[in-house]
Structure 1
Amino acid sequence: MDIKQYLDSTYLKTAVQAGLSKSENTVVARGFIQEAIEERFKLIMIRPNMVSLAKKMIVEAKSNLQIGTVIDFPEGKSSIDQKLIEAAQAIENGADDLDFVCNYEAFKNNEIELVKEEILQGTQLGLANNKVVKWIIEVAALTDKDIIQLSSLIKNVVVSNFQQELFPKVFVKSSTGFYKTENNLPNGATIPAIKMMLENASPLSVKAAGGVRTYDEAVQMIQLGVKRIGTSGAKTIANGQNSNNEY
């Protein structure tokens, strides 16, 4: 199976997280973008401050590579207005996909109306600009019941407020890959979590992010019904090898 069109090649470390200077981190990001162009992956997923660079490189290479970026990453606690401002800037800079971090802590605190409103407004902004919108629910921070209910909530907001032909442009996404778990528990996509998401987010698509480190794991996710996979080891996985990358 050629899995490259399922892969969102991902580099989301800040310079501080990578232990690099800003210019060194830009060089690393540039390398990921160039690799994604050459390998013909579906998309390069990068921080908002790298979107303009990616756009320039893609145009110069006459590539079809798409650009994804993260909004309110990694905690998702910002106000709706702050999320929308960041998303609007990313759109202006050339992003194709907007991966919002859902305010999962507000959801856990039963602030359901706040979460519904950010899903509605963020999705509205993305779809109005012909973008793909993904909502990261951070499965490692949630109970099974939370995963089911939050996936259902996102589905219900989208199905109730948007036309059916737009549903394929909205995803529920498992993880940031940056959540700190205790006792080395998985902080990304797991088979049980993905199954719950697929069952409760349908007809929306699901993106598995974090924790997919081998070709066989990627194929298994695709066979379950996942439409996109986020990984910082995209080339390694596509070549049938095991990735040691963290997310």
Structure 2
Amino acid sequence: MDIRQYLDSTYLKTAQQAGLSDAENVEVVKAAVAEAIEENFKLIMIRPDMVAIAKQMINDAKSHVLVGTVIDFPEGKSPLEEKLAEAEKAIAEGADDLDFVIDYTAFKAGNIAEVKQQVVACTRLGRKHGKIVKWIIETAALDDHEIVQLSALIKNCVITHLCEDDYNHVFVKSSTGFYKTENGKPNGATVAAIKLMLENSFPLPVKASGGVRSYEEAVEMIQLGVKRIGTSSAKAIAAGEAASGGY
């Protein structure tokens, strides 16, 4: 097993969140892209405004590393038109994977039709352009029943409105890593949440994102059945080490 081909190496901090200037943050992104190229990770996951930079670096290096970005990040509350516009810009600038934050707030409020409309329209857009689409459900904001319901909702939208050939290219993803939890509760992927997602999203694949910081944790997720792992600790995981913190 080449664990690197499961790893979406991730850097999603804004300059303000990182305590850096804009120019300094760009350099951090460039370093993350260079590391992904050197380590031959599956993908580098960065903010939309960094997609063009990452794509140029990867093309110049003649690398096969994919470029992923997040859409409507981190809360997923934007109207459908804004989600689509942000995705279209990312596609134009060379993104390979589009990781949409689902409007989990609307879902929790019972606005199911609205959520379904967003899932169908955004997934269709991504697949029309041959892109991988992932739906971040933010498991830390949901109880177990809601994780089951939302995973099944995404699955049913895809099965009903897209082709069978699309199934392997539409993921259910656990977390943004930016959700603020109380009492030190995990804000990323947990084994319990991932099991619920796997059981209720099949045949769609699952991405475990956030909280996977060691080789052993990554292997455990892969053995459960996940197809991608989003982590800021990709290099440590690939080296069989444990990282002390981060996404």
Map 1:92-111; keep pairs closer than 5 Å: 92-111=92-111
Q: Shift in Å at residue 7 of structure 1?
A: 0.1
Q: What one-letter code is carried by the residue in structure 1 that aligns with 2:28?
A: V
TM-score (normalised: structure 1) = 0.99
CA distance in 1, matches of 2:77, 2:165: 30
User: What SS class does the counterpart of residue 73 from structure 1 fall into?
Assistant: coil
Superposed CA deviations along residues 110-151 of structure 1, whole A, max 9, x for unmatched, are 000000000000000000000000000000000000000000
Q: What one-letter code is carried by the residue in structure 1 that aligns with 2:149?
A: Q
1:155 aligns with 2:155: yes
TM-score (normalised: structure 2) = 0.99
Q: Shift in Å at residue 244 of structure 1?
A: 1.9
Map 1:99-178; keep pairs closer than 5 Å: 99-178=99-178
User: What SS class does the counterpart of residue 69 from structure 1 fall into?
Assistant: strand
Q: What one-letter code is carried by the residue in structure 2 that aligns with 1:85?
A: A
User: What SS class does the counterpart of residue 171 from structure 1 fall into?
Assistant: strand
Aligned match of 1:229: 229
Aligned match of 2:70: 70
Aligned match of 2:190: 190
Q: Shift in Å at residue 170 of structure 1?
A: 0.1
Aligned match of 1:52: 52
Q: What one-letter code is carried by the residue in structure 2 that aligns with 1:56?
A: Q
Q: What one-letter code is carried by the residue in structure 1 that aligns with 2:120?
A: L
1:81 aligns with 2:66: no
Q: Shift in Å at residue 245 of structure 1?
A: 2.9
CA distance in 1, matches of 2:194, 2:140: 12
CA distance in 1, matches of 2:244, 2:231: 11
Superposed CA deviations along residues 202-234 of structure 1, whole A, max 9, x for unmatched, are 000000000001100000000000000000010
Corresponding pairs, count: 247
CA distance in 1, matches of 2:144, 2:239: 33
User: What SS class does the counterpart of residue 208 from structure 2 fall into?
Assistant: strand
1:36 aligns with 2:36: yes
Q: What one-letter code is carried by the residue in structure 2 that aligns with 1:75?
A: E
Superposed CA deviations along residues 63-116 of structure 1, whole A, max 9, x for unmatched, are 011000000000000000000000000000000000000000000000000000
Q: What one-letter code is carried by the residue in structure 1 that aligns with 2:227?
A: K
Aligned match of 1:27: 27
User: What SS class does the counterpart of residue 91 from structure 1 fall into?
Assistant: helix
Q: What one-letter code is carried by the residue in structure 2 that aligns with 1:205?
A: P
Q: Shift in Å at residue 246 of structure 1?
A: 1.9
CA distance in 2, matches of 1:69, 1:230: 12
CA distance in 1, matches of 2:213, 2:45: 17
Q: Shift in Å at residue 243 of structure 1?
A: 1.1
Identical positions, percent:
63
CA distance in 2, matches of 1:38, 1:15: 24
Q: Shift in Å at residue 2 of structure 1?
A: 2.4
Q: What one-letter code is carried by the residue in structure 1 that aligns with 2:221?
A: M
Moved over 3 A (4+): none
User: What SS class does the counterpart of residue 197 from structure 2 fall into?
Assistant: helix
Q: What one-letter code is carried by the residue in structure 2 that aligns with 1:216?
A: E
Q: What one-letter code is carried by the residue in structure 2 that aligns with 1:185?
A: K
User: What SS class does the counterpart of residue 218 from structure 1 fall into?
Assistant: helix
User: What SS class does the counterpart of residue 182 from structure 2 fall into?
Assistant: coil
CA distance in 1, matches of 2:69, 2:98: 5
CA distance in 2, matches of 1:104, 1:28: 30
Structure 2: gaps spanning 5 or more residues: none
Structure 1: gaps spanning 5 or more residues: none
CA distance in 2, matches of 1:71, 1:12: 11
